[in-house]
Amino acid sequence: MAEMHNDSLASLSRKLAAGETTSITLTKAFLERIERFDPKVKAFLRVEKEDALAQAADADKRRAAGEKKPLLGIPVAVKDNIVIEDRITTCASKILENFRAPYSATVVKKLREGGAVLIGKTNMDEFAMGSSTENSAFFTTRNPWDIGAVPGGSSGGSAAAVAAGFSPASLGSDTGGSIRQPASLCGVVGLKPTYGRISRFGLVAFASSLDQIGPFTRTVEDAAIMMNLLAGHDPLDSTSVDMPVPDYTEALKNDVKGMVIGLPKEYLVGGIDPAVEAVIKTAAERLAAAGARIEEISLPHTEYAISVYYVIATAEASSNLARYDGVRYGHRSKESQDLAAMYVNSRSEGFGPEVKRRIMLGTYTLSSGYYDAYYLKAQKARTLILNDFREAFKKCSVILTPTAPTPAFTIGEKADNPLQMYLSDIFTISANLAGIPGISVPGGFAPNGRPIGVQFMAAHFDEETLFTAAAAYERLRDAAVGSTFPKLG
């Protein structure tokens, strides 16, 4: 069992099916690893030890009764903005420090139906606002590859949990890159599906037109297995799309021979780390050698993506976070003499600096006299960005880009410079604005040993082509990538 924490989800599933191990044995091994190493990494806000062992025992009974499901008995970690009935959900914020969810998210119900063992809730940037997990109200998660570096964000805890071998898979949410960017920085696979492909019911809203739930895994195959379970229409989510769900693992068998892969000229520009640029160029060369055709394409409105995102996302956050008023649930100030003061004090005490910054930005852009100048203009520019992708996908099947402009940066390095922090998501934000799927796959390492990810993007609801390209690249990259793991002790 010693090295099972380095196994893929698919490998562990096969071992469970063959009777080589049990879910209880597996869950105990992961819990022991968390207990030993998470004080150093700080991936988890809460570990549900007793509940996890009870779920594992139930999974073993289900398997003994003849049930055969890929996730049956597999431990999975969940980002703390996805609700689980009767469990604390904080969004890493003081304002929800003691909030106990009255129902479960649809993705949680699907995981339970599939027999997954929900092992705990992971740390994140408060209300998913950040790119480093330094904005958590409780503590900063650390990168398992280098404890002095950030794991990325906002789903830093979920990425770190998979990278550190605390669980073979985890759930995160991606509003502007919050799955793909930490996946890149932590050297794991991170998938943001098409908007509407996975139900958002039970995901605490940050920016409702951008948010998507997706998986972190060790391999592309594992991500496909997770997508097979999580994808599908949900009547509880009005943005969920009623379309058939293919078997995504079938797409892994295809190769890239004849596939046209677009390389946008706007993404390989000044300011990108040389090690990142080298990984992307090598990826393009290897895909070309395997029979793909690499074409330079243009996404001309890319330069507006950051500005557009930080108008639309903050405006939606201002609206969504208005519900935290100290009245219905969450933190209520004890220092208030009247209702108005209670509103102000509860929100002042409960929200951290980054959340306050974004609420104020969003409220300003929605205010009378500025709505047309900022919010309406941003929505028009968003359409231009979407049209760029539509035109690009007439010429290519997938788009290859860096996931993040740099490897993981040192904790505290960008904490006092919000603009530099926002630029961490420069290559991921456009996919959210357009609603298209994107995946980050480990691609290599910087000279300092920190991981670098490669991003593929595909057209709406074309996750199959995305998986084909990502799996083909995974087979083509250096053997050391994906087969070496962080040394925690």
Q: For residues 95 and 451, give the distance between their C-alpha atoms in angstroms, rounded to a whole number.
A: 34
Residue 173 annotated among the catalytic residues of the structure: no
Instruction: Report the 3 state secondary structure along 68-128.
Output: CCCCCCCEEEEECCECCCCCECCCCCHHHCCCECCCCCHHHHHHHHCCCEEEEEECCCHHH
- Which residues, 6+ apart, have CB-to-CB distance to 418 below 8 Å? 354, 357
Catalytic one of 104, 154, 167, 170: 154
In this structure, the number of other CB atoms found within 10 A of the CB of residue 130 comes to 29
User: Treating both helix axes as pointing N-terminal to C-terminal, what angle do 463-476 and 220-230 enclose, rounded to 10 degrees?
Assistant: 160
Residue 69 annotated among the catalytic residues of the structure: no
Catalytic one of 8, 158, 170, 178: 178
Retrieve residue 323's tokens.
Answer: 């519900």
Closest CA to 215 of 170, 258, 174: 170
The strand pairing partners of 294, in sequence order, are: 261
Note if the bond before 173 is cis, omega within 30 degrees: no
Q: For residues 274 and 220, give the distance between their C-alpha atoms in angstroms, rounded to a whole number.
A: 26
- Which residues, 6+ apart, have CB-to-CB distance to 389 below 8 Å? 299, 399, 430, 434, 436, 457, 459
Catalytic one of 23, 42, 79, 158: 79
Q: For residues 265 and 295, give the distance between their C-alpha atoms in angstroms, rounded to a whole number.
A: 10
* End-to-end Cα separation, the chain, in angstroms: 17
Going 238 to 244 to 248 to 251, the CA torsion angle's sign is negative
Residue 154 annotated among the catalytic residues of the structure: yes
**Rg, Å, the chain Cα set:** 21
Cβ(191)–Cβ(437) under 8 Å? yes
Question: Which residues participate in catalysis according to the annotation?
Answer: 79, 154, 178
